[in-house]
Amino acid sequence: MQPINIICLALYLPIGLGLAALITQIIKRHGRVVLQGASPRKATEAAPALRMRAVGFFLLNAGNVVFTLGFGEWPVDAWQAVNFLCLKIGWVLLMLAVTFYYNVGKVEEACHEDTRYPGPPIYFPNP
């Protein structure tokens, strides 16, 4: 393995995993605030689920960071190294954004669970 590959690996893994950890902390901190704003009772009930969601978010994105190491060609010069890091970190950011907005949607859904109109009752005629 060339020294430039080791440098790319030494930069990519901490950046990718650090970004995943940072966004996980944001989900935990602000998800709790959103739940408390909806209702204090719901915040205490949903806190364990929010922590589990955050752990799942981190594991999914950390797995993505490690999994994508096997894709693409390793660089042989500085230009390819910059391109390699930009592509890998860009992919990590894209996946973080997708999973972040999915999680935000689920937290919002949990907040407004009680306020949804259930719809009209369904009646089944007797045969």
Which is more confident, 27 or 119? Answer: 27
pLDDT number for residue 114: 59
**pLDDT of 59:** 94
Within the chain, residue ranges assigned H as helices are 3-38, 40-67, 78-111
Q: Residue 16 — pLDDT band, cuts 50, 70, 90?
A: very high
Cα distances from 101 to residues 14, 57, 119, in angstroms, run 23, 11, 27
Mean predicted confidence (pLDDT) in 38-46: 67
Tell me the pLDDT of the chain averaged across its residues: 83
> Other CB atoms closer than 10 Å to residue 82's CB: what's the count?
12
Question: What would the pLDDT profile of 47-83 be if each residue is shown by its tens digit?
Answer: 787 888 889 999 999 999 999 888 888 888 899 999 9
Residues 38-51 have a mean pLDDT of: 72
Compute CA distances 114 → 39, 40, 95, 109, whole Å.
10, 13, 31, 10
